[in-house]
Chains A and B, each alone.
Chain A
């Protein structure tokens, strides 16, 4: 459970920092009057949707971290047999990086009000994300063909389950991306609303890329040493 404790510690630092900006030491019973009279009570200027996405990423982060916690606890049992990493995963990782880069490009284009750039970026990002998902399915198929079934070993079970959860999150993102692309196509103008949508998609894509890189490190065993250290801290 050390992974999730670490994750929550990070969240706690963020929340603590935010709370420290909120004048929690104010004495509200003495502070009568309009808000302009008191220092440091400014409201957040971010759009609600962006804050909402931030909160959702904390939830999704917690979910993935808990899977990692469970993984690191379960892998210590003697029946654990690491499974070979299908080569296609490296291709998939590259495609996901491309997907993230394409969305970043769309975001930059949106800030420059370059609507064609936005549409190209969104389409390229979406297409490479779909390629990634197809590649993940191919990896499953290859593992299955080689006899690594879901239930034959816990390492396999975790591989299938975690990649599936990550894939589902990406699929959900594709829905939002599709709607954004459709809107960009229809309106053909880089409105503030579209800029925000593109930005949110980009943030979500970067988050899923980060999650995937961490998961890849875990599933390929690169991070085993690190996991061992964490396990020593809190068994």
Chain B
């Protein structure tokens, strides 16, 4: 191998990317409130999502209080309990996780990581946030309308979702559906930005195969969301018409409160198909950004290149495609055509293959890495373990014969909380510890961070492992109280009380985290531009936090992929993506 000195001046200039014409804010309002800067929008998205997420967290405490100590709290009745589970589920899945990963992390990281000045349609991007905020406000308003929020369960299955007897039948369900429709409109505006920015605004040298996996994950998840959310939109519009105008899209003829209702002939199964056609991709819409982010966290904090980068990219694309043909595994007990079950159980098992490839690659990245047990790394490790746990119970539930007896039990609750509750939240938290220095210029306190991690991690296991056992006993989900039932031993009740105590403890740890976020903003140790010594472009900005336009006068030029950690012979254990090669192998001699 012959090395020749690298000379920047004689090289062919890389393919040009036109610079984006930036909108320049003129007043305080357009700078901080009606801002078109993706970074500000990202923070707005994150704060809004976290605020409504806190509401959902409090709802989970109330639910746990009721389950752990039934009959003790007079302020929780059966209707309210149903309203709590509905709102908790809906907020956590859609208004928190989807909004945070795509609206929050997507907005902040995509332009910085691909080397762009901003999103390609900043005005539409701003509208996206304000429509999302409106959706959140409409959702939150249901707590204050007559009858309260809907108690239909987060899946909103008709016919019960819009029949009298279900809490929130008057206003709650109408506002919930309106809020979902708004959310989807707002998301579509943002999603167009994320996709087109990745396609069109990558800086010179940033090929698709040099993108950090975070961008791949968010990019693929956004495409999936753009194609899957219309299913929820269609379902919501039709359900809204059934409720408001008395159409019978989903509503069969039935007797309501002793009277034959005006409905007739509708198909509740049709709603389930529409809902889960959105609902299953939604799982991966949340999971893929988490996969991408965790890949970057592990690589950075283990000072090692990601193992099998190409496989990781292919697996993300494969998961994205496959996730559209597994939806009916949520419907084994719905009364659909029984042979469907075979097909969907098969596709469900097939999707485990690319997912398993990703898990192996994370583990192999850690293998012989220089692992720094920083707080982001702890959360990333916590994610891998939790995701494997939740994924394995997914294999149970993906099989028809195992799923049927376990349907509607606590086993299902434990499964999906592990795989798409705790696991993605681990990534969200890890990512916040990782990128907080870039956003604020200060480090989060790592002692508080470690306390936060261990309580959250151990607590999550103490909450959800026993829940699997409760499910195997046959304890049903969505029940206000169990009463005296022969097949449920008294130990199950003590276990429920135990879970409640742990859940409150984990909730307390999140308050410590919130305190850390605020405290570190003022008192945190200044971080400098690249505290983790990371390679990807967002750490190479001239200012920290990055200024308007991100890059100063010149856009960065990318010379390498995002994972040049511990390269043999390099001066440092990381080489930023925009650092030109110092020596260069003569073509053909290197490989």
Q: How many A-B residue pairs have CB under 8 A?
A: 171
| Interface footprint category on B | 35 or more
Q: Which of B234, B237, B277, B581 contacts A32 (CB 8 A)?
A: B581
Does B584 reach chain A (CB closer than 8 Å)? yes
Complex Cα distance, B209 from A66, in Å, reads: 33
Q: Which of B202, B265, B277, B580 contacts A77 (CB 8 A)?
A: B265
Complex Cα distance, B205 from A36, in Å, reads: 8
Residue contact A66 to B266, C-beta cutoff 8 Å: no
Q: A22-B209, A79-B265, A157-B247 are in contact. Are A29 and B309 (CB under 8 A)?
A: yes
Q: Which of B14, B270, B580, B584 contacts A36 (CB 8 A)?
A: B14
Q: Which of B226, B237, B267, B584 contacts A161 (CB 8 A)?
A: B237
Does B313 reach chain A (CB closer than 8 Å)? yes
Within the complex, what minimum Cβ distance (angstroms) separates A187 from chain B? 18
Mark out the residues of chain B between 303 and 329 whose CB falls within 8 Å of any chain A CB in the assembled complex.
Answer: 305, 309-310, 313-314, 317, 321, 324-325
Does B95 reach chain A (CB closer than 8 Å)? no
How many residues does chain A have at the interface if contact means C-beta atoms less than 8 Å apart?
57
Residues of A within 8 A of B195 (CB): 55
Residues of A within 8 A of B309 (CB): 28-29
Within the complex, what minimum Cβ distance (angstroms) separates B20 from chain A? 9
Residue contact A52 to B12, C-beta cutoff 8 Å: no
Q: A36-B15, A70-B270, A74-B267 are in contact. Are A28 and B557 (CB under 8 A)?
A: no
Does A175 reach chain B (CB closer than 8 Å)? no
Q: Which of A25, A55, A79 contacts B226 (CB 8 A)?
A: A55
Does A233 reach chain B (CB closer than 8 Å)? no
Greatest chain B CB density within 10 A among A8, A11, A59, A161 is at A59
Q: Which of A25, A42, A48, A67 contacts B201 (CB 8 A)?
A: A48
Does B466 reach chain A (CB closer than 8 Å)? no
Does A146 reach chain B (CB closer than 8 Å)? no
Q: Mark B80-124, 1 if CB is under 8 A from A, else 0.
A: 000000000000000000000000000000000000000011000
Does A145 reach chain B (CB closer than 8 Å)? no
Does B429 reach chain A (CB closer than 8 Å)? no
Residues of A within 8 A of B371 (CB): none
Complex Cα distance, B200 from A225, in Å, reads: 42
Complex Cα distance, B264 from A151, in Å, reads: 10
Within the complex, what minimum Cβ distance (angstroms) separates B356 from chain A? 20
Q: A24-B310, A32-B581, A35-B204 are in contact. Are A70 and B274 (CB under 8 A)?
A: yes
Complex Cα distance, B277 from A70, in Å, reads: 12
Residue contact B248 to A154, C-beta cutoff 8 Å: yes
Residues of A within 8 A of B591 (CB): 30
Does A182 reach chain B (CB closer than 8 Å)? no
Residue contact A62 to B230, C-beta cutoff 8 Å: yes
Complex Cα distance, B246 from A29, in Å, reads: 60
Mark out the residues of chain A between 65 and 83 whose CB falls within 8 Å of any chain B CB in the assembled complex.
Answer: 66-67, 70, 73-74, 77-80
Complex Cα distance, B325 from A1, in Å, reads: 11
Q: Which of A5, A11, A48, A78 contacts B265 (CB 8 A)?
A: A78
Residues of A within 8 A of B231 (CB): 4, 62, 66
Q: Which of B208, B230, B264 contacts A63 (CB 8 A)?
A: B230
Q: A51-B196, A70-B234 are in contact. Are A32 and B227 (CB under 8 A)?
A: no
Complex Cα distance, B325 from A4, in Å, reads: 11
Q: Which of A1, A26, A150 contacts B277 (CB 8 A)?
A: A1
Within the complex, what minimum Cβ distance (angstroms) separates B125 from chain A? 11
Within the complex, what minimum Cβ distance (angstroms) separates B143 from chain A? 30
Does B210 reach chain A (CB closer than 8 Å)? yes
Given contacts A22-B209, A63-B233, 7 further A-B contacts (CB under 8 A): A5-B324, A36-B14, A43-B15, A48-B196, A55-B191, A58-B227, A74-B267
What are 29 A-B residue pairs whose CB atoms fall within 8 Å in the complex? Answer: A5-B324, A12-B321, A22-B208, A27-B310, A28-B207, A28-B561, A31-B561, A33-B559, A33-B581, A34-B11, A34-B559, A35-B15, A35-B204, A35-B558, A43-B202, A52-B121, A58-B226, A59-B192, A59-B227, A63-B234, A66-B274, A70-B274, A77-B267, A78-B265, A154-B249, A158-B249, A161-B237, A161-B247, A165-B237
What 3 pairs across the A-B complex have the smallest Cβ distances?
A79-B265, A36-B12, A28-B561
